[in-house]
A and B are shown apart, each in its own frame.
Chain A
């Protein structure tokens, strides 16, 4: 999951 982007934005 190293390349997965953080999805804390809207």
Chain B
């Protein structure tokens, strides 16, 4: 494992910690898209089907369990917790799941490495992860001011994508037969979605202003 991959995993973990911090300490999920969180839960559930059958490393198994556990508990908090759910911005979080889920599933049926249930679902999870942030970005755009924790949450998620991209470039040059066109394709789309957000994030940071995305 290289340093870029590790940094990517840690920023991914940081994004989840920031989100849980918001939910646990402020008891608020304002500005967080439940649609995106549900899509992430679906992403992890379909990607980590091999968690108990294929052993890679203790690190790998533990991280998978953390991502699965946290993503489903975040969804639970936003839907069921007696105070957290009241802060959910339901009226602005209107993006439809199936607009993303259906095309990703159809694409995974056609573009995959092998036509098996596990391989198709794994490919589906990559395609879905690439676009799962869209409802969150839409919600950010509709929010007048984005609070710090929400802004940092999306920032860490974007940083995770950036580091994974560098990791693939690194692996491409250091490992033989490292051909991963599905990962590359989905990863580039996913990282590109953050470019706009990063521009406004750094601009607000530089000018010491509250983050606000233009509608």
Contacts and interface: CB of A to CB of B under 8 A. Distances in A.
B5 interface: yes
Interface residues of B, number: 22
B118 to A, nearest CB: 10
Contact of B5 (A6, A7, A9): A9
A10 B113 contact: no
Contact of B114 (A3, A8, A10): A3
Contacts of A8: 56-57, 60
A7 B12 contact: no
A10 B16 CA distance: 14
A4 B54 contact: no
Interface string B50-84: 10001011001001100100000000000000000
A4 B114 contact: yes
Nearest to B13: A10
B64 A3 contact: no
B9 A6 contact: no
B180 interface: yes
A10 B183 contact: no
A8 B5 CA distance: 11
A10 B47 CA distance: 9
B127 interface: no
Nearest to B50: A7
B48 to A, nearest CB: 9
Interface of A: 3-10
Q: Closest 4 interchain pairs by CB?
A: A5-B180, A3-B113, A8-B56, A4-B113
22 contacts: A3-B113, A3-B114, A3-B179, A4-B113, A4-B114, A4-B119, A5-B113, A5-B183, A6-B178, A6-B180, A7-B50, A7-B54, A8-B56, A8-B57, A9-B164, A9-B167, A9-B183, A10-B9, A10-B60, A10-B63, A10-B64, A10-B67
Interface of B: 5, 9, 12, 50, 54, 56-57, 60, 63-64, 67, 113-114, 119, 122, 164, 167, 178-180, 182-183
Given A8-B57, A10-B67, 12 more contacts: A3-B113, A3-B179, A4-B113, A5-B113, A6-B178, A7-B54, A8-B60, A9-B5, A9-B183, A10-B9, A10-B60, A10-B63
